[in-house]
Structure 1
């Protein structure tokens, strides 16, 4: 489980391509080394990945074809920075919201509106997932726990404070970039249950 409180960004320093398979090597920030071992879970842009090898500060992760297809990690190149979060431990403060690290879909950055102390980013989400997106709902965007602002059809926005822009990679995003989306699982369960009950009583 993750909380959506991104602990920093990690640079991708090597990518090893194989048939329908890819290995990423990243350099993690030093504070994230404590207790890290092979088999540990670390979210990359919100996607749960497993540590396969540790060589100093070079940490290796394997990505299956399904991960490359469903998330934006297939777009990553050497030099890219990904948002990282270690798995939550029992007793940790949940500063964001409970997240599984399972990406539902990718959305596209459609608009960026910047002002002196605020940055508003709009995303266009595939139409089949819009039923889970509503004002003041929780959403995971590249692993960042955020609150949805306005919703207009297939588009929604979030408002970002300077701390979020500094701690994560979202401030580098441009129009057209693909962003990993994780819907709050409680929201998904409630919407699906209501839909099922209503269809049974028609």
Structure 2
């Protein structure tokens, strides 16, 4: 609706300015149009994320990336908003700024909940395009990156690392059906350990 109003701004201005329509009280000032643009742009990132989460079924690793983008957007938007020509900065209205702060707090609440499950960290570390480098690029605390690495390594050792039983035979640490044989070579075991 906001995009529609902005797309038809000239027609709306003309319609509300016409005295015969008796809508002069509803005519928007230049500042109000700028605020409307700012509001539309602020809501777009949330709208896009909602569509992705609702229709595209993102992976766990993509959820974190999307949340990072929203967080970065909100933090930047709270400070200032560029105009279309990018040569001048327009401050965000206090009402919008307050809403953005509340949105950021809500996002942080959900973001914090991802720490309660190791799945998010492991998914990011094992994701081919993310790995630990993603956290470093996003300027995450080194202690958090180290913890993500440790959690991933510990889960690997706990569930997938090849153990040697008393007879010296290699067996996977997780259960494998009797019809399945699983015995990676020593070189593949080393490659897996290096990746983590």
TM-score, scaled relative to structure 2: 0.22
Structure with the larger helix share: 2
Say which structure, 1 or 2, has more relative contact order (CA 8 Å, 6+ apart).
1
The structure with the largest alpha-carbon Rg is: 2
The TM-score, its normalising length taken from structure 1, stands at 0.22
Choose between structure 1 and 2: higher strand proportion: 1
